[in-house]
Amino acid sequence: MSYKVLYHDIGVKNYKEAWDLQESVFRKIIDGKVSLQENTRAVVPEQPGTLILVEHPHVYTLGKSGSEDNLLINHIQLQTRDAEFYRTNRGGDITYHGPGQIVGYPIFDLEKIGIGLKEYVFRLEESVILTLASFGIKASRLTGATGVWLDTEQGKRPRKICAIGVRASKYVTMHGFAFNVNTDLTYFNYINPCGFTDKGVTSLEKELGARQDFESVKLLVKKNLREVFDLKWIN
């Protein structure tokens, strides 16, 4: 049976606002699960999943196990580049979000989908890999590193095109993925992306040599997420 999901494209939104929105949906789904577990006779409305797609102004975010040493500029330099910095409660190390990047926050109950966290991350990666294939770009996974990568063959320098960092509690997810479409890649020069110093970053625009239709790419990502996770939009 398809998993019912509310879809919200919230346009351009600063990181903290989107984080607060995620937290409110995340808590609502968890509270509904706990109510059912504590009282099986309770009448609790079914809580659908939620997919939020957003584009952020310049911001660096650090995962709970990451090192601030991977931010290579100080807070004054951040301000001169119109960038913010947040420590978050997701997994992973440091990454960058900014204009021209599709950021997806799926808040899904994995128990209802019938998968574990490892398979969930695999399917997020698969959705972006399929999107890139539509543009004739071969992308894959890299052993020991989450996300979607190009040039993963031995002897080449892998380049990340999509970062993934998630949080889960009671099998409910939040945070998600960041897919570089028309992203200004110079902002990655100020960090060790995801803690790596020996790997590069890229974007759809860079790989294809031309700026892409952002909204069209977003709809393609949405379509592939629906197919890979067997989602049913309810709005």
Tens digit of pLDDT for each residue in 20-40? 999 999 999 999 888 777 765
What stretches of 108-228 adopt beta strand conformation (E)?
140-142, 145-150, 159-169, 172-180, 200-201
The reported pLDDT for the residue numbered 14 is: 96
Q: In the chain, what are the domains?
A: 3-229 (3.30.930.10)
Task: Give me the half-sphere count of Cα atoms (radius 13 Å) on the Cβ side of residue 83.
Answer: 26
The 3-state DSSP class for residue 61 equals strand
Dump pLDDT digits (tens) for 196-235.
667 789 999 999 999 999 999 999 999 999 999 999 999 7
Residues 6+ apart with CB under 8 A from 133: 139
Range name among 62-66, 171-175, 217-221 with the lowest pLDDT average: 62-66
Q: Has residue 41 got a pLDDT over 70?
A: no
Determine which one of 194, 204, 220, 231 is catalytic. 194
CA distance 101 to 55: 6
- Contact criterion met (CB below 8 Å) for 130 and 91: no
Tokens encoding 203 = 């974007």
Torsion of CA 11, 96, 125, 121, to 10 degrees: -100
Closest CA to 97 of 13, 6, 32: 13
Asked if 194 is an active-site residue, the reply is yes
